[in-house]
């Protein structure tokens, strides 16, 4: 045996909250995307733990899809961030007020 399943859930919950905290409180677009990455990683930890809990491969299959979605989100997100930086010269979302 390793550990009770609840401990895996609590570890992933703390990790998810850390990512959420990073995405909500930082004022830098790169740190916001990093926070989203941390949240996706926490979700995949839960999926692998659940796959072990029920002895079913379905949870591990889902982690592959999470990896693909994370890679997609990062590539498009970073391209958008670079585009916004070249337009405004800043990473701070508060300065993106070109419509004002």
Partner 1 sequence: MTIYSIIFYILALLILVSTGLAITRRNLVHAVIYLIFSFFGSALLFYLFGAPLLAVLEVIIYAGAIMILFLFIIMMVKVEASVERMFPLNQWLPAAGIGLMYLAIGALIVSSAPGKDIPLEMAFADPKEFGQYLFQRHWLSIEIVSLLLLIALIGALHLGRRRREEKIEEKP
Residues found near partner 1 in the complex (CB under 8 A): 1-11, 13-15, 17-22, 24-28, 30-31, 33-35, 37-38, 41, 44-45, 48-49, 51-53, 55, 57, 60-61, 63-65, 67-72, 74-76, 78-83, 85-86, 89-92, 94
Which is closer to partner 1, CB of 55 or CB of 100? 55
Residues in the chain: 100
To partner 1, the closest distance from the beta carbon of 73 in angstroms equals: 8
- In the three-class reduction of DSSP (H, G, I as helix; E, B as strand; rest coil), residue 95 is classed as helix
**CA-to-CA distance for 9 and 54, rounded, in angstroms?**
14
Nearer to partner 1, 2 or 99 (CB): 2
In the complex, what is the shortest distance from the CB of residue 22 to partner 1, in angstroms, rounded to a whole number? 4
Torsions phi, psi for 91 (to 5 deg): -95, -5
- By the 10 Å C-beta count (0-12 exposed, 13-18 middle, 19+ buried), 12 is classed as buried
């Amino acid at each position: 045996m390793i550990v009770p399943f609840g401990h895996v859930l609590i570890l992933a919950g703390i990790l998810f909250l850390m990512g959420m905290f990073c995405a909500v409180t930082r004022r830098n677009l790169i740190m916001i995307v990093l926070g989203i990455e941390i949240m996706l990683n926490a979700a995949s930890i839960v999926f692998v733990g659940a796959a072990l809990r029920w002895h079913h491969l379905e949870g591990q299959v889902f982690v592959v899809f999470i990896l693909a979605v994370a890679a997609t989100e990062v590539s498009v997100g970073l391209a958008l961030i670079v585009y916004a930086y070249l337009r405004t010269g800043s990473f701070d979302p508060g300065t993106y007020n070109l419509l004002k």
